[in-house]
Amino acid sequence: MERSHVRYMLVGGGIASSGCAEAIRELDKSEPIMLVAQEISRPYDRAPLSKSYLRRETAKRELVAKQVDWYAANNIDLRTGRRVTQIDAGRSAVFLDNGDEVFYDTLLLAIGTLPKPIGLDGGLLPNTFYLKTIADADRLHHAIEISRSVGHNRACVVGAGLLGVEVAASLAMVGMQIDLIQAHATPWPKIAGELTGGFLSRRIRSTGARIHQGVRAIRLEGDGRVQRVVLSDGTTIPADFVVAAVGSVINRQLLSNTQIAAESAIMVDQRGQTNVPNIYAAGDCSAIFDPIFGKHRASTHWDHARQTGRICGINMAGGEARYDSVTHFTTELADLVVHVWGDGRFVHHRLMRGNALNDDGNFAEVGVSADGRIAQVIAIGRGHEHFRYRDLVRNRFDTTGLEEQCKDPARPIPE
């Protein structure tokens, strides 16, 4: 057991932590940084795990955010395979799982989220999988091989949010027979409206996956492992394994015995600072104050995690940075890239710019709040208008009286 002191302690091995380290080093070239990451891998990009990595088109080495010598060259003490088990904010110290105690001047929490458990009878059977880490993706590779070896080639994905849709499409693209269980009428219920959802459903089906709409998985059954999924309409689906993609939750264990304020995520101000002095939080585990919507918002996307990590790094190193960006993410569905700006939780009704009933993928769904102001834009194709979509959300553009112009793809977006 050792005791040491660092100027900067970063907890978590994802893009928020590595973005923070990078930003610190732009302002402070020398003071020690320790980055503690419980996974064996150094910080890496998770996005390909449900896409090209799952389809074996991307190698593991291509996922890492920074090459190993970057950490040493930047005087960053990278501790992979190590976990922070406790924060003692009163003494400005954390404990590691080997008993080491490390005192800090400033602390970043970038601990991500955990997959939400499926919570069904049979949900603990061993071939029920979640997808968060490289190890999880490798377990899925193994499950695919076993399913192939017995000649079944079949699996079931529960949940049709961003992750479930990506996984279902990727598994179908590698030749698996996939049943996607979708509780709502269309996929992405928290993000997209009915017309965009209909377009996405057609794209998912074009990969070969079957969609079960408006039904819930109620039970996983089998003899020592999952063999069937029972649905709320009484249908039974044979499956060699199940991927549960039903949401994510923060791990509160590290927050216990601290005064750090958290609801469904750790609450931080525009500078990424928690309510406890010298403790910051970034990425998926945090909800940052967003001046565009006048609220704390959690966003579990790559760009946001990197950006909020960088904001924390700048402030931790004595600079000044505030969050004032439009949340943006991309997702892939087979050969289609979808861009989303803003927040679907504030959408009351939707204006369709272009025709979502065509399968050519060239339209935008403009999500409008009850007061007429734009809250979210989903763009499928239409790359030439992307910066305008971002600005419409940034300015919370008021569409009142301009709805027809917004809807007409042949006319410019209103200024």
Ligand X SMILES: Cc1cc2nc3c(=O)[nH]c(=O)nc-3n(C[C@H](O)[C@H](O)[C@H](O)COP(=O)(O)OP(=O)(O)OC[C@H]3O[C@@H](n4cnc5c(N)ncnc54)[C@H](O)[C@@H]3O)c2cc1C
Minimum CB distance to ligand X, residue 82 (Å):
7
Nearest-5° angle of CA 389, CA 190, CA 329?
40
Residue 56 gets the label, from left (phi > 0), alpha (psi -120 to 50) or beta, of left
Interface segment toward ligand X; rule CB under 6 A; list 57-65, 202-210, 325-333, 378-386:
325-333
Which of 200, 220, 254, 377 touches ligand X by CB under 6 A?
A: 254
The reply on whether position 187 binds ligand X by CB under 6 A is no
The reply on whether position 346 binds ligand X by CB under 6 A is no
Interface segment toward ligand X; rule CB under 6 A; list 55-63, 70-78, 181-189, 329-337:
329-337
Look up residue 133 and give its two tokens. Answer: 């880490």
Q: DSSP character for 345? A: G
The reply on whether position 13 binds ligand X by CB under 6 A is yes
Which of 6, 38, 134, 161 touches ligand X by CB under 6 A?
A: 38
* Cα distance between residue 332 and residue 112, in whole Å: 21
Radius of gyration of the chain (CA): 22
Closest of 50, 22, 37, 42 to residue 110, by C-alpha: 37
Q: Residue 283 carries which side chain, given as an amino acid letter?
A: G
- List the interface residues with ligand X, window 126-145 (CB under 6 A): 131-132
Which of 305, 321, 374, 406 touches ligand X by CB under 6 A?
A: 305
**Whose Cβ is closer to ligand X: residue 9's or residue 406's?**
9
**Whose Cβ is closer to ligand X: residue 36's or residue 380's?**
36
SS (H, E, C) 214-270: CCCEEEEECCCCCCEEEECCCCEEECCCEEECCCEECCHHHHCCCCCCECCCEEECC
Interface segment toward ligand X; rule CB under 6 A; list 172-180, 210-218, 326-334, 407-415:
326-334
* Cα distance between residue 48 and residue 59, in whole Å: 10
Which of 6, 10, 12, 144 touches ligand X by CB under 6 A?
A: 12
User: Could you give the string, one character per residue 361-390, with x where binding to ligand X holds by CB under 6 A and - elsewhere?
Assistant: ------------------------------
Close Cβ partners of 226 (under 8 Å, ≥ 6 residues apart) = 122, 125, 127, 128, 220, 239, 240, 241, 242
- List the interface residues with ligand X, window 78-107 (CB under 6 A): 83-84
* Cα distance between residue 348 and residue 325, in whole Å: 22
**Whose Cβ is closer to ligand X: residue 112's or residue 222's?**
112
The reply on whether position 181 binds ligand X by CB under 6 A is no
Contacts with ligand X, residue ranges (CB under 6 A): 11-17, 36-39, 46-47, 49-50, 83-84, 110-112, 131-132, 163, 251, 254, 283-284, 300-303, 305, 329-331
